[in-house]
Amino acid sequence: MVLLFLTCIAFSACAQEKNMEKEKITVFKIIASNDMNSLKQWIAERNSVEIRNDKGETPLIAATYGNHIEIAQLLIDAGADVNAQDKMLNSSFLYAGATGYLEILKMGLKAGADYKVFNRYNGTALIPACEKGHTAIVAELLKDKSFPVDHINKLGWTALLEAIILNNGNTRQVEIVNMLIQAGCNVNLADHEGVTPLTHAKNKDFKAIITLLEKAGAH
Per-domain boundaries in the chain: 23-120, 123-219
95-151, pLDDT tens digit by residue? Answer: 999 999 999 999 999 999 999 999 999 999 999 999 999 999 999 999 999 999 999
23-120 and 123-219 in the same fold: yes
| Residue 22 banded pLDDT, cuts 50, 70, 90 | low
In a 13 Å sphere around the CA of 82, the CA atoms on its Cβ side amount to 23
Q: What is the model's pLDDT at position 170?
A: 97
- Can you tell me the distance from the alpha carbon of 61 to that of 50, in angstroms, rounded to the nearest whole number? 10
- 23-120: CATH topology is 1.25.40
User: Around Cβ 13, how many Cβ atoms within 10 Å?
Assistant: 10
Say what the pTM is: 0.89
SS3 for 91? strand
Q: What is the model's pLDDT at position 6?
A: 47
**Overall average pLDDT of the 76-85 stretch:** 98
Mean pLDDT in the chain?
92
Q: Helix (H) and strand (E) counts for the chain?
A: 12, 0
CATH number of 123-219: 1.25.40.20
| CA-only gyration radius of the chain, Å | 22
**Overall average pLDDT of the 40-59 stretch:** 94
Q: Are 42 and 30 a contacting pair, CB within 8 Å?
A: yes
Angle between helices 36-44 and 69-77 in degrees, nearest 10? 10
